[in-house]
Structure 1
Amino acid sequence: MSSGAPTGQGASPSGRDLVFGRIRAALGDVPRQERPEDVPVTRGYRTAHAPDDPAGLLDLLQDRLTEYRATVHRCRPAELPGTVASVLARRGARTVIVPEGLPARWLAEASVERLGDTPPLSPRACEEADSVVTGCAVAVAETGTIVLDGGPGQGRRALSLVPDHHLCVVRAPEQLVASVPAAVARLVPTRPLTWISGPSATSDIELERVEGVHGPRTLDVLLVEA
């Protein structure tokens, strides 16, 4: 006895039927005895820049981030505290969320009130904070994507999603990869991953761009070149 709603003779296939039909067609040449573990893990992904071209990758990441309307800053390690202070001052930030494990040196020159997350800040406190400063786990040059995994200096997901302004520090070249597959290979899938490509944005019914709906309205990315 079949399940689901009956279809009349000559009725158009449902969306479900179309999807499963395409899957069956795509798997038509796959041997029945093949198992998932038989498929090679390593594949030949195309990349725009070679992994051994850190300068090219850094320029590409900046271009992609700028296309997404993020503001990009570049500095040397010795200039990091001053650049962080300058960015926060330019944004008018007075209260800044500081995730556990964020190097104290990063905010050493900033004249702001530091808000720790131990015990966890309330949703209202996160919303009322002017900014949050975090590090990241990895940055993807080809897509302009920054990934946070909740590690030291990154904090829980709410810290980078609720405040209106996010300043994220990317250390190059050690945190920079060319492609999404290269990033996935570095990440632990069981960790709370947050993939950020520019400020939060969506479109209303009239296709007008609206920013800050699902995350920070403003994203500053500081690329620290070793």
Structure 2
Amino acid sequence: MDALDEADKFVSVRNLLPPHVTNLNAKKWIYRHMYQDERSALMHAKQGEDYRLPHDSARRKELTDSLGRLWHYVESLIEERLGVRHSKSSFPRATIDAMAKTVLQQHKMVVADANSEGGTDEMHPIPSHATLAELHSSAPVRDPKDSELWTVLAVGDPANLAHVTPIRSFGLKNIDSGASTVLSEICGPLALGSSVSRIEMLYGVRHVNPSGAPRWFPS
């Protein structure tokens, strides 16, 4: 509590509270929810004790928002106490939306009967001799729970994929160049039996602002 008392002299610790928390003791709330329920229960999860595994989207968003408030608070505290301002910039929302749609609409989801041929860390081309089949892609949509994420749902009818046997990888095909890149290789491989009526693949792009609060934590 001493640290919160000291920090509160420069920047109100109420800035760490979510908007719906207004009438509670701010320091007690921070200790209970941010220190015990988030920091300790997440970083020191132990069987038999209260622990936090935010795998569902609602709890993940709650934790991400809390970490964002903490990030902004520390940023404000450093500026107020040390006079050091954090440089940051961002694109307008309309620009981000337009870029996400453009990138997603430039590609088609494909399945292939071959794995990648290697390549750089970023690019893993599907071999030119591979047999491909395109999936039908929906229009890009923004995730209702994550405004930085845009996704496309690609759907395929097994009857239209019968010539790709077996399926060894999912990938993206650039509409302009025709080049195809592996997104995910399948160990197995995958054979579509008669009980399979539909195949789906969800893919997308995420906007990450390197000068903003972290909002994506890959597992």
Query: Could you state the TM-score of these two structures normalised by the residue count of structure 1?
Result: 0.22
> Which protein has greater RCO, CA pairs closer than 8 Å, 6+ apart?
1
Q: Which has the larger radius of gyration?
A: 2
